[in-house]
Amino acid sequence: MTISRTSYFDAVDVAGLSGSAELADAGDRLVRHLFDVGLQLHALRVVFEQCGNSDLDRRAARDAVTGMLDDLDLLIRDSNLAMRAADGGAERE
């Protein structure tokens, strides 16, 4: 089983997030990334629901989960940076 990952998980350029168009672009990227991670998780569910999967399938699923967790960490970071840029970088207490 192969779980494909897209190659567009790159960090947001925070310096470029100054206007509403840039914020809209960052929001669009966030939605697309989250949708992609959701699709990958649905594909992984099949591996865990089927009996008799091989060790290779389980290892591939484990590797895919590790990659998706890394992607989610990046999405959370990007979301935080985008919202801070939209808010003028104000610190929250």
* Per-residue confidence band for 17, with pLDDT thresholds at 50, 70 and 90: low
Say how many domains are in the chain: 1
Token representation of residue 90 = 């104000």
Is-above-0.75 flag for pTM? Answer: no
54 is a domain residue: yes
- How far is Cα 46 from Cα 69, in angstroms, rounded to an integer? 18
27 is a domain residue: yes
9 is a domain residue: no
30 is a domain residue: yes
3 is a domain residue: no
Q: What is the per-residue pLDDT across 48-87, written as a single tens digit (0 to 9) for each?
A: 777 677 888 888 888 888 888 888 888 888 877 777 777 6
Query: Which domain does 43 fall in, by range?
Result: 14-85
Q: At what angle do helices 20-49 and 55-86 cross, to 10 degrees?
A: 160
Q: What is the pLDDT of residue 15?
A: 60
